[in-house]
């Protein structure tokens, strides 16, 4: 909420109010801003925290969605997920059938990519193949 209202207390504001000697980020020494504080700081420790916090929150929400979809009419049509480890899925009582690829895109989907590229390329959270003519 403070981000939305522009009242997030950042180093730039502390400097403006005379409470800091510099307006730069303490971690990376780049100019501080709300965006910098929330996702722009490139310092390794901040990046790790941002990545872990937001990725896991994203994956928790994704697992809830996949869990719900897997119980529906087309649950068996889910063929791929990238929503965290099997351990994390099990913690949310999500067990997917063995045919569902996890984290590595199926080779048949992009046959021109090497196995390394399939593991490292950007991936959707999930792929569900629907029969032709199925309304969304």
Sites of contact with Zn ion (CB under 5 A): 25, 27-28, 41
CB distance 82 to 102 below 8 Å: yes
Q: Which is nearer to Zn ion, 52 or 86 (CB)?
A: 52
Minimum distance from CB of 53 to Zn ion (Å)?
Answer: 16
Mark residue 22 as left, alpha or beta (left: phi above 0; alpha: psi -120 to 50; beta: remaining). Answer: beta
Q: Which is nearer to Zn ion, 34 or 70 (CB)?
A: 34
Q: Which is nearer to Zn ion, 28 or 60 (CB)?
A: 28
Minimum distance from CB of 5 to Zn ion (Å)?
Answer: 22
Cβ contacts of residue 8 below 8 Å, gap of 6+?
Answer: 2, 34, 37, 38
Minimum distance from CB of 18 to Zn ion (Å)?
Answer: 21
């Amino acid at each position: 909420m403070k981000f939305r209202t522009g009242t997030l207390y950042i180093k730039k504001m502390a400097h403006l109010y005379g409470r800091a000697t510099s307006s730069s980020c303490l971690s990376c020494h780049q100019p501080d801003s709300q965006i910098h504080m929330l996702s722009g700081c490139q310092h390794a420790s901040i990046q790790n925290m941002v990545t872990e916090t937001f990725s896991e929150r994203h994956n928790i929400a994704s697992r809830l969605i996949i869990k719900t979809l897997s119980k529906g009419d087309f649950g068996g049509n889910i063929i791929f997920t990238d929503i965290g480890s099997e351990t994390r899925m099990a913690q949310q009582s999500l067990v997917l059938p063995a045919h569902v690829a996890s984290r590595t895109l199926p080779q048949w989907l992009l046959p021109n990519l090497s196995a390394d590229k399939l593991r490292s390329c950007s991936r959707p959270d999930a792929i569900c193949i629907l029969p032709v003519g199925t309304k969304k």
